[in-house]
Amino acid sequence: MIKTITGTTQNLGVMGWPIAHSLSPAMQNAAIAAAGVDAVYTAFAVEPQALALAVAGLRTLHFRGWNVTIPHKQAIMDALDEIDEDAAAIGAVNTVVNDGGRLKGYNTDVVGFLGGLRDAGFDPAEKNVVLLGAGGAARAALWGLMKSHAMRVTVGARHPEKAEALIDDFAARASMLGTKLAAMHWETEAFRGAFSHADLVVNVTPLGMTPHTDDKPPVDWREAKPDAFAYDIIYTPEETRFLHEAAALGHRTLNGEDMLVQQGAAAFELWFGRKADASVMKQTLRAQLSGAELVHHVLA
């Protein structure tokens, strides 16, 4: 049954460049339908030089809110009226809420990152963590680990200067929260030592993502603690080489599917003040990833 769009329908969406690949419209519209909310979620292709105009237009058109993806997560902050604590700490916004023309930016990636771990039964508190990568995704992961009171986070990267810059940005907050930080090149003996003591190892690089499925960060799971937990925020393929090698040696593993769903569910709650049906969002995501027909459709 086709959804009826009326003059009272709330408008939402996701902006990025490019944006055609986004799975957010399918997930969010499935959640909207399941909740019986009068809203519709679409995708906006916004070129970087047009970002300020796009934000002004969505404000003027009274869009209830929208998600933000690459390459706008940092640049959009200057166009908003208020920034949430998580977004300010991470230095990036992935969700905007429009309350009567006032735009507030949030970052729900940290909620998604921690939610996936929580549902898998892993608590980072007082744990040794190795973070593989120092790019944009690393910022949300590092902030989440610090908020969860991880004992120590070692950031390993191909370019150690990026890892050092990352921990420098978070050093003051880490001191207040009691988390020790270190930056290392991921092909050194010092890093191998940190890896061998890690309770949690997280890949926040794109290494191993489709179509480059033979790639992985340079770690050897034979050197890890037997109970070390492997977390890869990639969700295509479902099992990266990084996770496959960990699982083959008996390690618990988690991919990025739950993170994607839960960050979307957190955005839904910010817009509508009610929880999304995460199971519907997850079913829809899996159907999209498998190329199957959607199980849930947008209903009137």
Instruction: Please write the tens of the pLDDT for every residue from 225-249.
Output: 999 999 999 999 999 999 999 999 9
Residue position matching structure tokens 């890690």: 198
Query: What is the strand order of the sheet 10-16 is part of?
Result: 39-45, 10-16, 65-68, 95-99, 102-106, 82-83
pLDDT, residue 6, reads 92
The 3-class SS string of 73-122 reads: CCHHHHHCCEECHHHHHHCCCCEEEEECCEEEEECCHHHHHHHHHHHCCC
Say if residue 35's pLDDT is above 60: yes
In this structure, what token pair is assigned to residue 278?
A: 């995460």
- For residue range 175-229, list pLDDT tens digits in order: 999 999 999 999 999 999 999 999 999 999 999 999 999 999 999 999 999 999 9
In this structure, are strands 95-99 and 102-106 parallel, antiparallel, or unpaired?
antiparallel
- pLDDT band with cut points at 50, 70 and 90 for residue 3: confident
Q: Structure tokens of 300? A: 């009137």
Sheet with 200-203, edge to edge strand ranges:
180-185, 152-157, 128-132, 200-203, 229-232, 253-254
| Residue tagged 């499925």 (tokens) | 213
Backbone angles phi, psi at 3, to 5 degrees: -70, 135
Contact 4, 32 (CB under 8 A): no
pLDDT band of residue 300 (cuts 50, 70, 90) is: very low
Please compute the mean of the pLDDT values over residues 68-87 and round it to a whole number: 96
Q: Which helix (H) or strand (E) holds 43?
A: strand 39-45
Mean pLDDT of the chain: 94
Distance CA 277, CA 285 (A): 13
Q: Quote the pLDDT of residue 290.
A: 84
CA 233 from centre of chain: 8
- What is the pLDDT confidence band of residue 291, given thresholds at 50, 70 and 90? confident
Quick one: pLDDT band at residue 1, thresholds 50, 70, 90?
Answer: low
Give the CB-side neighbour count of residue 146, counting CA atoms within 13 A: 26
> What residues act catalytically?
73
Q: For the residues 264-292, what does the mean pLDDT come to?
A: 93
Which H helix or E strand runs over 54?
Answer: helix 51-60
pTM recorded for the entire structure: 0.91
**Cα 231 to Cα 21, 24, 165, 183, 243, distances in angstroms:** 23, 22, 23, 19, 7
Percent of the chain with pLDDT over 70: 96
234 contact partners, CB below 8 Å, separation of at least 6: 203, 206, 208, 209, 240, 255, 256
Average pLDDT over residues 260-287: 96
**Residue type at 269?**
E
Q: Which residue has the tokens 């809203």?
A: 39
| pLDDT surpasses 70 at 295 | no
Query: Which range, of 28-32, 167-171, 296-300, averages the lowest pLDDT?
Result: 296-300
- Split at pLDDT 50, 70, 90, the class of 298 is very low
